Amino acid sequence: MSRSFANWAAPSYVSGTILVVAYLIKKNKTKLVIISIVLHSLLGVTLYHYHDIAKISGIKLSRHTDPYKRVLGWKDVIDQIKVIRERYPSHFILSKSRGSVAELDYYLKEKTYIFNPNHQMENQYHMDRDLNKLKGKDFIFVGSDKDEMTLKTYFNSVKLIGKVVAPLYEDFNRSYTLFKADGFQGY
Chain segment 101-125, per-residue pLDDT in tens: 999 999 999 999 999 998 888 888 9
Q: What is the mean pLDDT of the chain?
A: 93
Beta bridge partner(s), residue 114: 95
Confidence of residue 60 (pLDDT cuts 50, 70, 90): very high
Give the least confident one: 35-44, 60-69, 121-130: 121-130
Amino acid occupying residue 104: L
Amino acid occupying residue 122: E
Confidence of residue 2 (pLDDT cuts 50, 70, 90): low
pLDDT tens string 137-169: 999 999 999 999 999 999 999 999 999 999 999
The answer to whether the pTM exceeds 0.85 is no
Nearest CA-CA partner of 162 in 178, 140, 141, 175? 178
